[in-house]
Amino acid sequence: MSADGHLPAEATESTVVDHSDEDTRRRGLIGYLLLLPGGAWLALFFIVPTVTLVSTSLYDPTGSLATGYQMTGHWQNYTQALSDYSPQLLRSFLYALTATGACVLLGFPLAYAIAFKAGRWKNVMLVAVIAPFFTSFLIRTLAWQYLLGDNEFLVSLLRKLQILGADGYLLDTPFAVITGLTYSFLPFMVLPLYASLEKLDPRLLEAGADLYASPVSVFRRVTLPLAMPGLVAGTLLTFIPASGDYINSELLGNPRTRMVGNEIQDLFAAGDYPTASSLSITLMVAIVVLVVVYVRRAGTEELL
Amino acid sequence: MGRGGRWLGEHLVLLLGLLVLVYMFVPIFVIILMSFNDPGSRNSYTFDGFTWHNWANICEPYQMCSSVGLSLRIGLLATAVATMLGTLMAFAMVRHRFRGRGAASLFIFLPMATPEIVLGSSLLALFVSSGSAGLLGFWTIFVAHVLFCLSFVVVTVKARLAGLDPRLEQAAMDLYANEWQTFWRVTFPLVFPGILAAALLSFSLSFDDFIITNLNAGQEVTFPMFVYGAAQRGIPPQINVIGTIMFLVALVVVAAGEVGSRRRTPQI
């Protein structure tokens, strides 16, 4: 938090205090032993596969699963993947970015209301945020397929209001895909935002108002900077899964809304492992670059 | 500003927040409604009439209940293993000093920051290039699920453990409890809600996963894969019965957790 120096020491009563001071930590082998089983799992099934993915992405693309692949350092897989699939890659990031923006717009009022306005209904509202998330992701997306359908209430209403033309539709459009993405990842925005806002002492907001700050400048100068860690965490938790998702595009979109996830999945299904792997690595590298730039600019490196 | 204006100003955020909550529940209402749907034709996903038939004949769609069974088995097994491994890691991270803690915590964070499609494709690349493409099935799904649940378990248990007052354990030791007794009588009961929350999160992540599973499932069909397949062919209304049951179970579990934590917190 950048404004820490200006806060009274007791300002954050509800903060969970980190009691694990250096002196209560034990040295020695036991720490390694506790880490070993989980660490081995991560090494074997996360690090090793990532290396395999990189090497698969450099295989000679003329091979196949049946005949076996030759490792030829065929880096042209990458240029090929980029030239064939850059529209899908850009579209993924565009959709994910739009959905993340929409999640901020929807999530901020909700998180703020839960943290400051809900009173004794706070826990009920939190349960209400979490519960839909536990219901199957795919079934919820199918429910959106129904809600956005051509003969359903929403489309009829928008047609009547002349927002959509007489034969206008929502399903199978970029709008539908982004709606689905927004809905799918909204809880990932609300929960970290709430966690940040909850720690914020409402007296700071009152102090701002007492010092003749308008509500807008209280929001900009006090609320927003203090909510920044939650906002950054929320945008990452929304943007990253949204840019790799293909379910929303598949169920709510059309062939021209295909995202990079659709292509990777189909390439694997078709057995073109080298191209699929290089596209997958490209997606990962692009995300890492975007995230690092974003976190630097937001000034919250300590989160990573 | 009149009285009404001021009231609106005070409550505008709350109203907006409630509207967003309503929006979050709209698909849930659709799912519940559709679980009582009597579809006119096989492929229709419009509400054509009310019936109890779907609830009385949940397992009617071919292979649906066996896919639910598979998802339950994988979910329970993956949750048990991920919760155990992750809890041990969380203890190591919070309670022990060792070289490379920073690297370890980055290492734990990375799988959460990797898009599912990348995580799934790297596992598939591993299974295929190590010549075990023929093994794709229950155990490869299990391996993948433990992997992506693990980081979430570590983070959840770590948060609970870091919030624990070490003076409680010191007090136990002062009262002549040995390390073993202190752990089982003081530390573990205090950390247990965190472990339980981590297990519930793991189970729901595992039960609901599609993208990673779909790449590594071989011939097996989990419930999300069944739903995805059904979406291409025509959706049996019983899918919504399962969806409704999942929602109700989640509601009860989450609400029970809230009540439980409210009862426990005042003493600490």
Assigned domain for A6 exists: no
pLDDT at residue B268 in the model: 42
Q: Is the pLDDT of residue B2 over 90?
A: no
Work out the average pLDDT over A113-140: 87
For the ranges A19-23, A148-152, A255-259, B204-208, which has the lowest average pLDDT?
A: A19-23
Instruction: For residue A162, tell me if it sits in a domain.
Output: yes
Q: In whole numbers, what is the pLDDT of chain A averaged over residues?
A: 84
Asked whether residue B261 is assigned to any structural domain, the reply reads no
Q: Do A247 and B228 touch (CB under 8 A)?
A: yes
For chain A, how many structural domains are there in total?
1
Q: How many CB pairs under 8 A join A and B?
A: 288
Q: Name the residue of chain A whose CA is nearest to B241's CA.
A: A139
- Looking at per-residue confidence, does A301 or B102 come out higher? B102
Domain with B153, as residue range(s), is: 63-235
Closest residue to B13, CB basis, from A21, A109, A261: A109
Q: How far is CA B115 from CA A72, A77, A176, A203, B120, in A?
A: 27, 21, 21, 40, 9
* Facing B116 at nearest CB: one of A42, A53, A241: A241
The CATH number linked to A106 is 1.10.3720.10
Contact residues on chain A for B118, CB-CB shorter than 8 A: 53, 244, 280-281, 283-284
Domain membership of residue A208 (yes or no) is no
In a domain, A55, yes or no: yes
Q: What is the pLDDT of residues B194-242, one digit of tens each?
A: 999 899 999 999 999 999 999 999 889 999 999 999 888 888 889 999 9
> Are A149 and B46 within 8 A, CB to CB?
yes
- DSSP string covering chain A, please? -TTGGGS-TTS-TTSPP----GGG-B-SHHHHHHHHHHHHHHIIIIIHHHHHHHHHTTB-TT-BTTTB--B---THHHHHHHHHHHHHHHHHHHHHHHHHHHHHHHHHHHHHIIIII-GGGHHHHHHHHHGGGGS-HHHHHHHHHHHTSTTSHHHHHHHHTTSS-TT---TTSHHHHHHHHHHHHHHHHHHHHHHHHHTS-HHHHHHHHHTT--HHHHIIIIIHHHHHHHHHHHHHHHHHHHHH--HHHHHH--GGG--HHHHHHHHHHTT-HHHHHHHHHHHHHHHHHHHHHHHHHHT-GGG-
Assigned domain for A158 exists: yes
pLDDT tens digits, residue range A35-71? 899 999 999 999 999 999 998 888 877 766 666 677 7
- Residues of chain B positioned with their CB less than 8 A from the CB of A152: 46
Domain residues for the domain of A167 are: 50-199+232-303
Least confidently predicted of A3-17, A73-87, A124-138, B21-35: A3-17
**Residue in A with minimal Cα distance to B100:** A32
CA distance B114 to chain A (A): 7
Cβ distance of B128 and A273 shorter than 8 Å: yes
Specify the CATH number for the domain of residue B76.
1.10.3720.10
pLDDT of residue B135: 81
Q: Is residue A93 part of a domain?
A: yes
Domains held by chain B: number: 1
pLDDT interval class at A97 (50, 70, 90): very high
Percent of chain B with pLDDT over 90: 44
Whether B151 is in a domain gets the answer: yes
Question: In whole angstroms, what separates CA B266 from the centre of its chain?
Answer: 27
Band of pLDDT at residue A265, cut at 50, 70 and 90: very high
Q: For residue A22, is it within any domain? A: no
Residues of chain A found within 8 Å of residue B150, distances taken between Cβ atoms: 38, 41-42
Per-residue confidence (pLDDT) for residue A6, from 0 to 100? 40
Q: Model confidence at B267, in pLDDT bands (50, 70, 90)?
A: very low
**Which among A118, A147, A245 has CB closest to B30?**
A147
**Which residue has 């890492």 as its token pair?**
A288
Identify whether B203 is part of a domain. yes
pLDDT bin (cut points 50, 70, 90) of residue A19 is very low
Q: Which of A96-100, A108-112, B93-97, B263-267 has the lowest mean pLDDT?
A: B263-267
pLDDT of residue A171 exceeding 80, the answer is: yes
Provide ipTM, 2 decimals: 0.86
Whether residue A10 is predicted with pLDDT greater than 60 in this model: the reply is no
**pLDDT at residue A210 tops 70:** yes
Q: What is the pLDDT of residue A157?
A: 84
| A280 vs B contacts (CB less than 8 Å) | 117-118, 121-122
pLDDT of res. A213: 81
Higher local confidence (pLDDT), A21 or A65: A65
The per-residue pLDDT for range B84-96, each reduced to its tens digit, is 999 999 999 888 8
